[in-house]
Each structure stands twice: as structure tokens, then as C-alpha cells.
Chains A and B, each alone.
Chain A
Amino acid sequence: MVDMLLMILAGVGVALFGFVLQTSIAGVNRKIVGRIQKRYGPKWYQEFLDIFKLLSKRSVTHGWIFDFGVIMALGGIIGTAMFMPITSSLMAFPGYDNFFIFVYLIAVGMLGMAMSASGSGNPLASIGVMRALTTMLAYEVPFMIVVLTIIKLTGTSSLSELGILQQAGGDFNWFVIALPLGGIVAVISLMGMLGKKPFVTYIAPAEIASGPMVEYGGKQLGMLFIMHEITVFIEVSLFVHLFLGGAENILFFIIKYFAVYTALNIMSSVYGRLKIDQVVLFFYKWPLILAVTQAFIAIYLGWVI
């Protein structure tokens, strides 16, 4: 029973580490994006300041479902983060870090946020939630097809083992190279997951009036910010473990993590915003075709670089 408690504590540690890592890297990225837009951008720890400022403010609530949804959202995301392996050996629950747990526990977070947003009574919030769900429907399927290919090729769906397989460099080098088309699709889906520029409608700052976050303030908004940061951490580290061969030690993990996140931020600062049905149409045209052909080539014809 004691080792279970230890494992849980380790999980909480992982979640905390994830939060701190992501928030600081997000701060650094805000400076980089600022530089792209010819300005200096705020201090690197600006993200921390925002969150703690919000947590200290007294805000408004629209009933118990409004609060319960936020708690469930943050709780679900923390739960998911606890499972995340940092390096191929350092993780809270060895052996149980199954890919599908992450995909579906994120959904719990999404459901919590959606529930509280539409519980707030503001129709604009419901519209925002509808947009978030529709975009999720769009980017999720191609990503999972590519992951299907990886799982089918390697025969295991636990992230740490995948990392070890890729590091060993024996039969598989990094999947982003081994499955080129799969890599491209994964990047595009990751941009959708993180809500980066072209697919950002549901949490775009400009659309704040009709985004899900319209009714939040104070500690609720702060908690949702934390939730957003941890979600980004989960999704980017998923990408790192699946496609960039995990990490032998923490340093490599952080470097790869930083590289991926910054690259995405730079890429996304170039794009405009797509309408929701354009997003759906886009994702069900090119990424899906690429993913299916990649899967067909890799599984049935065995062409893996």
C-alpha cells in the first residue's frame, strides 16, 4: 500500500514538474514570439505572475456546476499528467502509461471545462465549447491513425517502451524520420491540439467573447490556465515520446520539449485563423489521407525508413 502512495506522490511531482516546465517554456516562447513581432515580450516568468494573480482574485460563480466543472477539468488533467513518463525510465507508474489513457483522460478535462462553460448560462460560452469539440473531432482522428501505425509496427502502446525502442536505434530510428508522412500529420494535429494559430478559433484571444472562457475570472480562470498549461505539457511530451524517441535523461527531454514547443510557436505565429468548418474540412482532407497512406505503406508494404 505504501509503494502505491509513493507512486502517487511521484505522479503529483511529475504533474508539478510538467506545470512548472511548461509555464516557464511558455514564458520564454512569449518572448520569442514577441521578438518575431518586433517587440521584446514580457519577462520569462510572466505566465506564473498571471496565474497567481488570478488565483488571488475574488470572482463570480454561476452555481455549483460552474465550479464542479472547473474542479473536474483540472483534476482530470492533473490525473493524466501523473501518468506521463518524463524519461524512458523516470515515471510515476511504470508499465501503465498506455497511449489511450492520455487521449481519453484529456477528454475528461475537456468535458469538465465544457460542462462548466455551458453551465455558466452564457450562450457565447456554449458556442465556444461547440467549437472546441468540433476542432477536437477534426485533429484527433488523423493523429490516432498515425499512432495506430506506430503501435502496430512496434507491438506496444506504452510510451516508455516506445521511447526505448526508438533510442535503441536498432530496427527503428525516430518515428518522425521512420514514418515521414506520419511525422507531418502528427505536427499538424499537435498544432490543432495545442490550439495554435490556424486552428485556434476556440481559445483565440480575439475570440474571447465567444470562447469557452468568457464567464471565468479569478480563481476559476486561474485554474483553467493551469489546466491549459498541463494539457500542453501532456500533448507536447506525447509527441516527444512517440515521435522523437523519448529521452534517456531529463536534460534531453527538456531540450526536445523546448525545441518542439518553440518550433510550433514560431510556425503558428505566421498563420491567420481558420473557420471551424474549414478546420474540419482541412483535417479530413490532407492529414487523413496522409495518415492512411502512411499506415498502409508502413503496415502492409513494410516501407519504414
Chain B
Amino acid sequence: MLQYAAIAMLMLGLYGLLTQRNVIKIIVSLNIFEIGLNLFIISVGYVDDGIAPILTSNFNNNGLIFVDPLPSALVLTAIVIGVGTTALALALANNIYQKYGTFEIDEMGEE
């Protein structure tokens, strides 16, 4: 179920990128795409009724079923990178606004 939601967000992100001509809206749809992607990564690691993969000292851990820890680790970095790029994109948007005075790409008149 989670995967379908993730794929839906991916599609939404792509749709946004395809149609929007406003810089901020492009950044937003890029974020939606990345969040959808991260959700999808998480959903890959899901194990039926597995618990969070945290080893505690006092329980013997061999009997428990853990969810696959790797995708969640990957997602951490993916999110951080997503944040980095979005920050850079917003800084660029600021530059664009100063230079062209508008966010609509069509009105910028770049050749």
C-alpha cells in the first residue's frame, strides 16, 4: 500500500516538473518527487511485522524479526542531499528573482 502512495507521489512530482513554468513550483514539485522516492526506498525494506532494527543490550535479539535496516540508512543520506539541493535551488530562485524580477520562466525572455 505504501509503495502505491510513493509511486503516486513520484508521478505527481514528474507531472509538476512537466507542466509548471514557475520556478518555485518547479522546486516544490522536485521536492514532492524526492519525498516520493524516499518513501519508495523505505517501502522496499518493509518486512511483515518486523520491528525497528535497534539492538538493545538486555534482550536477546536473535528471536526478533527486524525490518531491513539498509534502505532506512540510505534514506537518511538521500533526505540530507534533497535538503541540500533544495536550499541551493531556493538561493538560485532568489538570484533569478533579483535578476528578472519574476518567477515565470516564460516572462524571463532568455533565448
Asked if A and B touch directly (CB within 8 angstroms), the answer is no
